[in-house]
Copies of this chain bind each other. A is one copy, B any other.
């Protein structure tokens, strides 16, 4: 059974069958279904060896996922994987710890696997050109930017939300609900990372609404992990500092915060409101449903692959996309 047999059975051209098998959009749904049914019925397996032989370069795209416990990246990875596949590349995936050096990991992977490009899911915000000189292929920073670094805009691509504005909007939502004693559960507030950006958004929202910042309401945990978030929140409660709401950087740390509040006899949202950033699917099924700023994970993953493909195939210039995070109302906040 060859591709010609399938084409003949379906009464279409070989190139039409090829387009269907490569998930190309320029085929009618009716023809697509007919071809797939024939492929299914005949047990045909496309043989892409010929294509592999013709291709002179590797088709490998490296994906480095930073933070092995990050459910947001876990959700995004499926989209990235499918898009890389759909465009005819091979994904080479590597997970690294949240504190590990993604640039070095990417540079090693590039040489070992002869990568054509790289997508970093998560990374530092303060790259220097010297550091990135290790990476010899085009790359896209997915979910972060280089706003604390010194790369030239034209030398790299990025896809992310506006972390500062998203945090600002989340905190303003709490303020609109009457909260003024708002705690912030962050990784760090001067770590030149996503946490610092979101912390700055938090501070700005307080300031613009005439609320004095109380350093006693800041919890720095040094990570995005749930155990640390739980401990940090518990310590804040045990210090006896009063607050009526908590701003958290991520859905998972929000869940840990809610757990800590609950274990200390405080109900959410009755005794304390909690708001987050991420919009995981599981957060719609927890109790209470999480009120959170949804990052468009699928769109971020898809656009990252698209930008890289455009650079590789069309020599397109580097791009920087800022996508919008939207509030998903839940039941973890309350008007006071």
A interface, CB within 8 angstroms of B = 43, 45-49, 52, 68-69, 71, 74, 77-78, 81-82, 85, 90-95, 104, 107-108, 111-114, 134, 226, 230, 252, 255-256, 258-259, 262, 281-282, 284-287, 289
When the two chains form the complex, which single residue of B71, B91, B114 contacts A282, counting CB atoms closer than 8 Å?
Answer: B71
From residue A35, how far is it (CB to closest CB) to chain B in Å?
15
A21, closest chain B residue (CB): B108
C-alpha spacing A52/B52, complex, angstroms:
17
When the two chains form the complex, which single residue of B92, B95, B226, B259 contacts A287, counting CB atoms closer than 8 Å?
Answer: B259
**What are the 5 tightest A-B residue pairs by CB atom distance, in nearest-first order?**
A74-B74, A255-B285, A48-B112, A68-B78, A78-B95
C-alpha spacing A25/B91, complex, angstroms:
28
Inter-chain contact A226/B91, CB cutoff 8 Å = no
A101, closest chain B residue (CB): B40
Inter-chain contact B111/A49, CB cutoff 8 Å = yes
C-alpha spacing A282/B287, complex, angstroms:
13
A225, closest chain B residue (CB): B281
Can you list 21 contacts pairing A with B, beta carbon distance less than 8 Å? Answer: A45-B107, A46-B111, A48-B112, A69-B281, A71-B74, A71-B282, A77-B95, A78-B95, A81-B94, A85-B94, A226-B282, A230-B285, A252-B282, A252-B285, A255-B282, A255-B285, A255-B286, A258-B285, A258-B287, A259-B285, A259-B289
From residue A155, how far is it (CB to closest CB) to chain B in Å?
19
Inter-chain contact B74/A95, CB cutoff 8 Å = no
From residue A53, how far is it (CB to closest CB) to chain B in Å?
11
From residue A296, how far is it (CB to closest CB) to chain B in Å?
17
C-alpha spacing A82/B47, complex, angstroms:
29
C-alpha spacing A112/B113, complex, angstroms:
16
| Contact A92-B91, Cβ < 8 Å, known A71-B282, A252-B285, A282-B255 | yes
Inter-chain contact B111/A226, CB cutoff 8 Å = no
Q: What 4 additional pairs, Cβ within 8 angstroms, besides A43-B134, A90-B92, A93-B93?
A: A45-B111, A78-B95, A91-B92, A255-B285
Inter-chain contact A285/B49, CB cutoff 8 Å = no
C-alpha spacing A184/B271, complex, angstroms:
35
| Contact A93-B81, Cβ < 8 Å, known A282-B252, A286-B255 | yes
Inter-chain contact B108/A46, CB cutoff 8 Å = yes
C-alpha spacing A207/B284, complex, angstroms:
36
C-alpha spacing A46/B255, complex, angstroms:
41
